[in-house]
Amino acid sequence: MQLRTIGQIQVGAIGLGGMPMSIEGRPDEERSIATIHAALDAGVTLIDTADAYTLAGDEQGHNEELIARALRQYGGDTSGVLVATKGGHLRPEPGAWAQNGDPAYLKEAAKASAQRLGVDAIGLYQFHRPDPTVPYADSVGALAELLDEGVIRMAGISNANPDQIREAQEVLGGRLVSVQNQFSPKFRSSLPELELCAELGIAFLPWSPLGGIQGAADLGGQGAAFEKVAEAHGVSPQQVCLAWELALAPVVIPIPGASRPASIQDSALAAELTLTAEEIEALSK
Ligand SMILES: NC(=O)c1ccc[n+]([C@@H]2O[C@H](COP(=O)([O-])OP(=O)(O)OC[C@H]3O[C@@H](n4cnc5c(N)ncnc54)[C@H](OP(=O)(O)O)[C@@H]3O)[C@@H](O)[C@H]2O)c1
Q: From 127, 213, 265, give the residue whose CB has the most ligand 1 atoms within 8 Å, as the site to mutate.
A: 213
**pTM, rounded to two decimals:** 0.98
Give the ligand 1 atom nearest the CA of 260.
41
Per residue of the chain (285 residues), give pLDDT as tens. 999 999 999 999 999 999 999 999 999 999 999 999 999 999 999 999 999 999 987 799 999 999 999 999 999 999 999 999 999 999 988 888 999 999 999 999 999 999 999 999 999 999 999 999 999 999 999 999 999 999 999 999 999 999 999 999 999 999 999 999 999 999 999 999 999 999 999 999 999 999 999 999 999 888 899 999 999 999 999 999 999 999 999 999 999 999 999 999 999 999 999 999 999 999 999
Characterize the bridge pairing of strands 82-87 and 89-90.
Answer: unpaired
Give me the pLDDT at residue 109, please: 98
Grouping H, G, I as helix, E, B as strand and the rest as coil, residue 194 is: helix
d(CA 197, ligand 1 centre) in Å: 22
What is the dihedral sign for C-alpha 198, 264, 187, 113? negative
Kindly list the distances between the CA atom of residue 4 and the CA atoms of 8, 60, 92, in Å, as whole numbers in the listed order. Answer: 10, 30, 36
Give me the pLDDT at residue 274, please: 97
Q: Which residues of 7-23 are buried (b: 16+ CB within 10 A; e: fewer)?
A: bebebbbbbbbbbbbbb
Hey, how many other C-beta atoms are within 10 angstroms of the C-beta on 228?
14
Told to judge if 136 belongs to the known catalytic residues of this protein, a careful annotator would answer no
Give me the pLDDT at residue 263, please: 98
d(CA 119, ligand 1 centre) in Å: 25
Give me the pLDDT at residue 220, please: 87
Hey, how many other C-beta atoms are within 10 angstroms of the C-beta on 193?
23
